[in-house]
């Protein structure tokens, strides 16, 4: 969601190789009822968080059933997905969190991608504590007070500093710079996947143990746990322009879609569907909850939402003359 601005060298040409993402292992392209029809193949990148997965599989389900598209889902990190647009291996990224650097590189300079409009969902990134901590230590939600509580957050990984738990190493984060520039007595510790962050919050709430961690909204977990965001210095335009000097909160995100320039130029039914796609955070969280909490396969969760929300997805279909 939010990948660090790292150069992706090893995966540039062969995106379908296992270590670089590619199609899910053992999964064949899914073909719609019309056997592809005039839609052809739609290659949808799937970035590593469940909210994105909800977007991708709902779009794919509608594309197959209503437009007869052949849909291929490709599990890819963010910049690798953007790279794939130039080769035709990726047609769309269906939840992009800002990335002005990638837009400059792939849209403005290389011209292999175009903007595809908003998903309708607003994104938030920040530091969060479990509900019990905000109740017992109400001033902890002001960053100015974090050093007062730093000792409470010490772990074996953070040593004599408080721990700030980060997520997937590919997620974009300003946390190292924030800790340094705000003079916080904390150490950033990488925790791993989205699932690992969620488990950490659940455990911290159940056992009433301290936790300060990077997290984001929309996220289905908020239906279960009302995590509380720590107020960092307010974001202002340009305050994050120099990554090394960031001392402000993360910006608000209007989550959008990025589409292959070739795919957009062809203006087929699949492109029009993706461009028209918009829904709400509540819609996304409903599907994400079925995938992550109810353990339904993504295809089944998407199908349940599609079956129950015909009036919503009908508005995404290409307009016939």
Is the confidence at residue 26, as pLDDT, over 70?
no
Write out the two tokens for 156: 């074996």
pTM for this model (two decimals) = 0.82
Say if residue 319's pLDDT is above 50: yes
Domain 18-121+257-316 has CATH 3.40.190.10: yes
Average pLDDT for residues 160-186, to the nearest whole number? 93
Ranges in the chain annotated CATH 3.40.190.100: 130-245
Which CATH code for domain 130-245? Answer: 3.40.190.100
218 pLDDT tier (thresholds 50, 70, 90):
very high
Query: What is the overall mean pLDDT for the chain?
Result: 89
Measure Cα distances from 293 to 21, 287, 297 in Å. 24, 10, 11
Q: What is the biggest distance separating any 2 CA atoms in the chain, rounded to whole angstroms?
A: 67
Question: Can you give the pLDDT at residue 193?
Answer: 86
Distance of CA 6 to the CA centre of its chain: 17
Strand partners, 259: 92, 114
Domain with CATH 3.40.190.10 in the chain: 18-121+257-316
Query: What's residue 1's pLDDT?
Result: 58
């Amino acid at each position: 969601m939010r990948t660090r601005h790292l150069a992706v060298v090893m995966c540039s040409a062969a995106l379908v190789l296992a270590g670089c993402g590619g199609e899910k292992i053992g999964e064949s392209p899914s073909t719609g009822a019309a056997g592809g029809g005039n839609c052809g193949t739609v290659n949808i990148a799937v970035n590593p968080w469940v909210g994105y997965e909800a977007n991708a599989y709902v779009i794919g389900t509608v594309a197959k059933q209503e437009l007869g598209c052949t849909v291929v889902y490709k599990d890819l990190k963010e910049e690798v997905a953007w790279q794939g647009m130039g080769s035709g291996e990726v047609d769309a990224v269906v939840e992009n969190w800002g990335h002005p650097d990638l837009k400059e590189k792939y849209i403005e300079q290389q011209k292999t991608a175009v903007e595809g409009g908003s998903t309708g969902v607003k994104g938030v990134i920040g530091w969060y504590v479990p509900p019990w901590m905000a109740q017992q230590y109400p001033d902890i939600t002001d960053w100015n007070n974090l050093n007062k509580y730093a000792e409470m957050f010490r772990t074996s990984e953070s040593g004599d500093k408080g721990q700030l738990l980060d997520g997937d190493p590919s997620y974009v984060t300003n946390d190292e710079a924030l800790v340094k520039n705000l003079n916080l007595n904390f150490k950033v510790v990488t925790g791993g996947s989205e699932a690992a962050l969620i488990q950490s919050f659940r455990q911290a709430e159940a056992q009433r143990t301290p936790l300060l961690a990077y997290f984001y909204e929309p996220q289905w977990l908020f239906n279960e746990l009302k995590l509380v965001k720590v107020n960092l210095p307010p974001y202002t335009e340009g305050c994050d322009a120099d990554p090394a000097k960031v001392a402000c909160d993360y910006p608000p995100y209007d989550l959008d879609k990025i589409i292959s320039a070739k795919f957009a130029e062809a203006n087929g039914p699949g492109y029009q569907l993706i461009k028209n796609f918009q829904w709400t955070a509540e819609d996304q969280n409903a599907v994400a909850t079925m995938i992550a909490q109810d353990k339904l396969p993504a295809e089944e969760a998407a199908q349940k939402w599609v079956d129950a929300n015909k009036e919503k997805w009908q508005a995404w279909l290409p307009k016939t003359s």
